[in-house]
Amino acid sequence: MKFSSSALGALGASFLLASGTSAIDLTVTDPASIKSATKAIAANLRSYYTGDRLGDTPGNLPDPYYWWEAGAMFNAFIDYWYYTGDDEYNAITTQAMQHQIGDYNAFMPPNQTKTLGNDDQAFWGMAAMAAAENNFPNPTDPTQPSWLSLAQAVFNTQVVRWDTLTCGGGLRWQIFSFNNGYDYKNTISNGCFFNIASRLHKYTGNQTYGDWAEKMWDWELSVGLMNEQYHYFDGTDDTKNCTSVNHIQWTYNAAVHMAGAAAMWNATGSDVWKTRLTTLINSTDVFFNLDGSPNIMFEVACESNGKCDVDQRSFKAYLARFMGWTIKVAPFTSTMLLPKMTTSAAAAAKQCNGGANQTSCGLKWTQNGVNDGSFGVGEQMAALEIMQILLYDQVAGPVSMATGGTSKSDPSAGTETQNPPITFNSITTGDKAGAGFVTTLVLIGIIGGAWWMVS
């Protein structure tokens, strides 16, 4: 390619404008610009990961990141490859996913099971589901489980945890009774199950998954984890038979339900699901209406007051991810989603100018390009996701068994070996502290009633 002198002039000018303001130059309508911006953001995200180093554990992020967030990060890399075609991170992703499979071939590795929540397991399960839907390269070792079967195993291990002793059903947050949070039926655990069931239904056409998705949706509505406008609340206390709800709203709860509802609409074509999805998307306005920043995503419960913890700083990544998923699977949503996607992506990119390489993204996208200096896996992943989904019209959309999906189905995955006891390895103090902290937060929310912000 040759540069004309006028092109050189334009380049020089844009370089001058860019230097000192933003190292990430994003034109939201230009695929080449989106690819080069996301390439830099992804490289920065990858720099946090050490699990592929000799002597380290594939799939783990160093402190302070919990195991579930690593699963979420590999999902982001799977989607990065799908949207951009850049396979730079495929090898570390495959290695990590396979190393963390654990018991039941269902993402229950012994190092984690002692503190494992249904939501933790599900974030890895959703990564496997994304690998199947994107036709991510299948394992070359034929003894390794397929991506699809890993998602099916997560479904199968969770469906037997459906608990009718209290609240008329639902999943508990924690899997094991000795953990803090066993008495809490939280929305993200139930919502992730809904997400996986709906996507398995769309992918395989198997009605059993669809029936469970319907059942979960109805149950969440019945106990008030969502209201009639499909606002999603944090969770509910099972010692009170789920009569008291913690009303904090998080982006990731709306996110997992959005994709699930889109999958159900796609699979059924029903007007009921169309209305649910439309209403749900409309209700995400609560995350896009900060004064003076219309259509720019923010974490309403903790961003303005600076109280977002490490986990919470990643939540916007999942709302972005599933907006991109939804626009492919339920294209009628594009008029609602596109303004939010493009405005948020432009705002995120504008402040990704921190750190030595000027590619570190802060938490707040609503400050007109001012980087707030909050760096980490969550902040970086959220910016990556909101930018890469802009390539939605460059990709075919998630495949299914009927439309070219190559990942092998195993409907009984995760059920064959229920006899051997689950193995627990010793856990680190970091894990214990983390679980305890979340529970404290949750109890504050319940006592206070309808809390809007984390305090």
Ligand X SMILES: *[C@@H]1O[C@H](CO)[C@@H](O)[C@H](O)[C@H]1NC(C)=O
DSSP per-residue letters across 290-340:
-TT-TT----TTTTTTT---TTGGGHHHHHHHHHHHHHHHSGGGHHHHHHH
By CB under 6 A, residue 168 contacts ligand X: yes
Q: Which residue, 340, 342, 347, 237, is CA-closest to 282? A: 340
Which token pair is 99?
A: 């190393």
Packed helices 67-84 and 118-133: angle between N→C axes, nearest 10 degrees: 10
CB of 127 closer than 8 Å to CB of 98: no
By CB under 6 A, residue 371 contacts ligand X: no
What is the distance, to the nearest Å, from the Cα of residue 375 to the centroid of all Cα atoms in its chain?
A: 18
By CB under 6 A, residue 282 contacts ligand X: yes
Nearer to ligand X, 95 or 138 (CB): 95
Nearer to ligand X, 402 or 447 (CB): 402
With 0-12 / 13-18 / 19 or more C-beta atoms within 10 angstroms meaning exposed / middle / buried, residue 270 is exposed
Interface mask (CB under 6 A) for ligand X, residues 406-425, using x and -?
Answer: -----x--------------
By CB under 6 A, residue 380 contacts ligand X: no
* Residue corresponding to tokens 């075919």: 396
- Position among 189, 266, 333, 351 found at the interface with ligand X (CB under 6 A): 266
- Position among 16, 285, 305, 430 found at the interface with ligand X (CB under 6 A): 285
Q: Which of residues 343-362 bind ligand X (CB under 6 A)?
A: 355, 357, 359
CB of 370 closer than 8 Å to CB of 351: yes
Element (H, E) at 94: helix 90-99
Interface mask (CB under 6 A) for ligand X, residues 222-261, using x and -?
Answer: xx-----------------x--------------------
Packed helices 187-204 and 118-133: angle between N→C axes, nearest 10 degrees: 30
By CB under 6 A, residue 373 contacts ligand X: no
From the CB of 278, what's the least distance to ligand X, in Å? 6
Nearer to ligand X, 137 or 397 (CB): 397
DSSP per-residue letters across 103-151:
GGGSSB-HHHHTT-BHHHHHHHHHHHHHHHHTTPPPPSSTTSPPHHHHH
Please list the residues that pair with 185 across neighbouring strands.
236
Interface mask (CB under 6 A) for ligand X, residues 289-308, using x and -?
Answer: --------------------
* Segment near ligand X (CB under 6 A); pick from 172-180, 310-318, 325-333, 433-441: 325-333
Nearer to ligand X, 35 or 441 (CB): 35
Q: Which of residues 82-101 bind ligand X (CB under 6 A)?
A: 99-100
By CB under 6 A, residue 376 contacts ligand X: no
CB of 126 closer than 8 Å to CB of 195: yes
By CB under 6 A, residue 167 contacts ligand X: yes
By CB under 6 A, residue 329 contacts ligand X: yes
Interface mask (CB under 6 A) for ligand X, residues 97-126, using x and -?
Answer: --xx--------x-x---------------
- Position among 24, 34, 42, 44 found at the interface with ligand X (CB under 6 A): 44
Which token pair is 264?
A: 């159900």
Judged by the rule CB under 6 A, the positions of this chain that interact with ligand X are 43-44, 47, 57, 99-100, 109, 111, 156, 167-168, 206, 208, 222-223, 241, 266, 278-279, 282, 285, 328-329, 331, 355, 357, 359, 397-398, 411
